[in-house]
Amino acid sequence: MTQHYFSETPSGDFAPREIEVELAGATRRLVTAGGVFSPEHLDQGTRVLLRAIDEIAANGDFAPGRAILDLGCGWGPIALSAALAHPEAEVWAVDVNERARELTRANAERLELANVRVAAPEEVPPGLRFASIRSNPPIRVGKPVLHGIMRQWLPRLLEGGAAHLVVAKHLGADSLQRWIAAEFPALAVARVAREKGFHVLEASA
């Protein structure tokens, strides 16, 4: 596989830099670096996902429960937002990329978030189930890898829980929605938001 943000050990020097982002209703100064997804800013897809999750929570349709999973955490915006909004929840920030994990740890410390657990996929306790899975998944790794990721994590939803995935329409949002519905007939799959070419898919247990 060519070198990109989905690599376990990115090449290039680790040169952290600060950016300002809006998370959980306030401006935060966080650190990013090359070798992770969208190091310069909060990408549009993640913005759309976070807005959709905020709207679901505002409508009273979402209960965080015991644990929230940010799948493919990058430098941490989804996990950090979840931890800020739900201080009572245990938030797991999972990524294969060790640099992403290092940045997420640093950003959780900056925000004094004691409820963020940063881990490689194999470090997540096998019996742990999640009330919420949130992800801007790595679509460009190709369908076989992407489908493997979905098969690994979607079965770990608690009953009554939901996964929310943001996917660009031109990168296969509709086909992923159909695949999840066919692969996991026990899940109710729907598109719950659409904005600026991105779709937010919900898979409810």
Whether 130 shows a pLDDT value over 60: the answer reads: yes
Looking at residue 66, what is its pLDDT?
A: 82
Over residues 55-72, the pLDDT tens digits come to: 887 666 555 568 999 999
pLDDT at residue 1 is higher than 70:
no
Whole-Å CA distances, 1 to 58, 95, 110: 41, 17, 33
Q: Which of 5-19, 90-104, 146-160, 176-190 has the lowest mean pLDDT?
A: 5-19
Residues 120, 78, 178, 160: is their CA dihedral positive or negative? positive
Residue pair 93/73 in contact (Cβ under 8 Å)? The answer is yes
The predicted model gives 5-23 an average pLDDT of 73
- Give the number of other CB atoms < 10 A from CB of residue 31: 17
> How is domain 17-204 classified at the CATH fold level?
Rossmann fold (3.40.50)
3-state secondary structure of 67: strand
The helix/strand/coil state of 28 is strand
Residue 12 has pLDDT above 80, yes or no: no
| pLDDT at residue 142 in the model | 87
Contact 36, 188 (CB under 8 A): no
**φ, ψ for residue 145, nearest 5 deg:** -70, -45
pLDDT band at residue 119 using 50, 70 and 90 as cut-offs: very high
What integer pLDDT is reported at residue 3 of this predicted model?
37
